[in-house]
């Protein structure tokens, strides 16, 4: 899988280099190594653990 590194850089909207964000992502992914498994784990963790009330 060829991923452009620019897609993974932090932005104003996504503070992906924050220690808090990285801890959450690491905990959500667990031992997953496959990018699809990691994405699925992150999706479910965000869906189930982050409260959103518009």
Q: Where are the domains of the chain?
A: 18-54
What confidence tens digit (pLDDT) does each residue in 4-47 have? 888 878 988 888 889 999 999 999 999 999 999 999 999 999 99
Using DSSP, state whether 36 is helix, strand or coil: helix
Which runs of E-coded beta strand occur in 1-54? none
For residue 3, pLDDT over 80 is answered with no
For residue 52, pLDDT over 90 is answered with no
Rounded distance between C-alpha atoms, residue 41 and residue 54, angstroms: 24
Rounded distance between C-alpha atoms, residue 26 and residue 44, angstroms: 13
Predicted TM-score of the model (pTM): 0.73
pLDDT number for residue 1: 62
C-alpha distance from residue 13 to each of 8, 9, 31, 36, 42 (Å) = 13, 11, 27, 23, 17
Which has the higher per-residue pLDDT, 1 or 26?
26
pLDDT number for residue 19: 94
**Residue 8 near residue 21, CB atoms below 8 Å:** no
């Amino acid at each position: 899988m060829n991923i452009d590194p620019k897609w993974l850089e932090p932005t104003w909207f996504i503070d992906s280099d924050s220690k808090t964000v990285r801890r959450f992502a690491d905990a959500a992914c667990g031992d997953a190594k496959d990018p699809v498994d990691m994405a699925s784990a992150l999706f479910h963790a965000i869906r189930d653990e982050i409260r959103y009330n518009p």
